[in-house]
Structure 1
Amino acid sequence: MRLWIVLIALMAGVGGCATPVAVVRPGSVPVAAAAPATPPPPVDPGALAAKLAAIQPQWPRSRYPVPPGKRHIDCGRIKCVALTYDDGPGEHTGQLLDILAGRGVRATFFVIGRMVAEGDGPHNLRRMVTEGHEIGNHTWSHAQLTALSEAGIRGELSRTQGVVHHVTGRWMTLMRPPYGATGKRVAAVARDRGLAQILWDVDTKDWRDRDSLIVTRRASTAPPGSVVLMHDIHPTTIEAAPHVLDQLAARGYTFVTVSELYGGKLAPGEEYGEDREPVRR
Structure 2
Amino acid sequence: MKRLVAALAVLAALAACGQAPDRVHTSADADAPVVVRPMVFREPDPDMRRGLGPDGRPDLCARAKCVALTFDDGPMEHTERLLEMLARYDAKATFFVVGQMVEEFPEVVRKEVEQGHEIANHSWNHANLASLSADGVTAQIQRTQDAILQHSGYRSVLLRPPYGSSNAQVAKIAASFGLPEIIWAVDPLDWRDRNSSLIARRVLSQTGKGDVVLLHDIHASTVDAVPRILEGLAAKGFKFVTVSTLFAGTELKPGHQYRERHAAVAR
State the TM-score bracket (shorter-chain normalisation). 0.7 to 0.9
1:207 aligned onto 2:191 = yes
Provide closer, same or farther for how the CA distance between residues 129 and 18 of structure 1 changes in structure 2, counting only shifts above 3 A: closer
SS of the residue 2:60 aligns to: coil
Residues 234-273 of structure 1 aligned to structure 2 (within 5 Å) = 234-263=219-248, 265-273=251-259
Q: For residue 172 of structure 1, report the CA deviation from its aligned partner.
A: 0.5
Provide closer, same or farther for how the CA distance between residues 19 and 207 of structure 1 changes in structure 2, counting only shifts above 3 A: closer
- Hey, what's the Cα distance between the residues in 1 that align with 2:253 and 2:18? 32
Q: For residue 63 of structure 1, report the CA deviation from its aligned partner.
A: 2.8
Find the counterpart in structure 1 of residue 27 from structure 2. Answer: none
Larger CA Rg, structure 1 vs 2: 1
- The residue identity in structure 1 corresponding to 2:91 is V
- The residue identity in structure 2 corresponding to 1:211 is N
Provide the aligned C-alpha RMSD in A: 3.2
Check conservation: 1:138, 1:177, Cα contact below 8 A: yes
Q: Which residues of structure 2 form unaligned runs of 5+?
A: 4-8, 20-29
Q: Deviations over 1:21-59 (max 9, x none)?
A: xxxxxxxxxxx952869xxxxxxxxxx98xx68x94xx5
Q: Which residues of structure 1 form unaligned runs of 5+?
A: 4-15, 21-31, 38-47
Find the counterpart in structure 2 of residue 89 from structure 1. Answer: 75
Corresponding residue to 1:34 among 5, 12, 16: 16
Q: Which has the higher contact order (CA 8 A, sep 6+)?
A: 2
- Hey, what's the Cα distance between the residues in 1 that align with 2:245 and 2:231? 21
Q: Deviations over 1:200-253 (max 9, x none)?
A: 000011000100011101112201110000000000101000000000000000
SS of the residue 2:95 aligns to: strand
Find the counterpart in structure 2 of residue 113 from structure 1. Answer: 99
Q: Deviations over 1:50-94 (max 9, x none)?
A: xx68x94xx53x434769x99764212110100000000001000
1:161 aligned onto 2:137 = no
Q: Percent identity?
A: 43
Q: Deviations over 1:75-124 (max 9, x none)?
A: 12110100000000001000000100111110000000001111xx2111
Q: Provide the aligned length of Structure 1 versus Structure 2.
A: 236
Task: With the length of structure 2 as denominator, give the TM-score of the two structures.
Answer: 0.79
Find the counterpart in structure 1 of residue 135 from structure 2. Answer: 151
Q: For residue 267 of structure 1, report the CA deviation from its aligned partner.
A: 1.5
Find the counterpart in structure 2 of residue 101 from structure 1. Answer: 87
Corresponding residue to 1:124 among 108, 111, 115: 108
